[in-house]
């Protein structure tokens, strides 16, 4: 994260498992959008398969963080919610939740940024295929438009 960065966006999931790639897909769309339309936005983007304890350092350096992930069984195309830190046993495995990542940033680095989860509804997760379903693509577009509004709010 650069010294000027105010916001961190972490898109995570496995693009090789169909709609599980919604998080990385949304983060990649954002990276392209910023490059083309808003190069002055102080946003760092991280695209990864999963959250790990190592993400706590980057989270601790941000004023605000948006985690983006695929979801199942939402009642709408996407859901946006504020996160709280949640203590958990993160020392015995390599995958952490967004809440645990916030908790680690707080206990290890003394920082607790404002944080949100953008969950995007997917429907196909069971096959090994790097392709989003038509439903997921539609939901991704809706969630991305919403994300741009939220970023503008957080930055200004």
Q: What is the C-alpha separation between 123 and 139, in angstroms, rounded?
A: 10
Q: What is the C-alpha separation between 73 and 42, in angstroms, rounded?
A: 33
Distance of alpha carbon 117 from its chain centroid, rounded?
7
- The fourth-level CATH superfamily of domain 7-155 is HybD-like (3.40.50.1450)
**Are the beta carbons of 105 and 113 closer than 8 angstroms?**
yes
Count the Cβ atoms, other than its own, within 10 Å of residue 117: 18
- Say what the pLDDT of residue 86 is: 78
- Say what the pLDDT of residue 111 is: 95
Distance of alpha carbon 48 from its chain centroid, rounded?
9
Of 7, 124, 15, 138, nearest in space to 78 by CA: 138
- Say what the pLDDT of residue 91 is: 56
**In 2-133, alpha helices (H):** 22-37, 55-60, 98-109
Of 14, 101, 1, nearest in space to 46 by CA: 1
Where is 143: in which H helix or E strand? helix 134-155
Question: Percent of the chain, pLDDT > 90?
Answer: 83
- Say what the pLDDT of residue 96 is: 87
Residue 45 has pLDDT above 80, yes or no: yes
Please write the tens of the pLDDT for every residue from 124-140.
999 999 999 999 999 99
pLDDT confidence of 30, banded at 50, 70, 90?
Answer: very high
């Amino acid at each position: 994260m650069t010294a000027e960065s105010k916001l961190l966006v972490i898109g995570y999931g496995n693009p090789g498992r169909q709609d599980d790639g919604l998080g990385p897909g949304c983060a990649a769309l954002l990276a392209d959008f910023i490059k083309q339309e808003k190069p002055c936005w102080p946003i760092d983007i991280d695209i990864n398969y999963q959250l790990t304890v190592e993400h706590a350092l980057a989270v601790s350096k941000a004023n605000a963080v948006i985690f983006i992930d695929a979801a199942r069984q939402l009642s709408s195309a996407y859901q946006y919610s504020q996160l709280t830190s949640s203590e958990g046993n993160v020392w015995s495995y390599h995958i952490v939740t967004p809440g645990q990542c916030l908790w680690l940033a707080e206990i290890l680095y003394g920082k607790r940024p404002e944080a949100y989860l953008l969950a995007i509804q997917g429907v196909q997760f069971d096959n090994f295929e790097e392709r989003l379903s038509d439903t997921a693509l539609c939901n991704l577009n809706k969630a991305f438009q919403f994300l741009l509004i939220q970023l503008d709010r957080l930055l200004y």
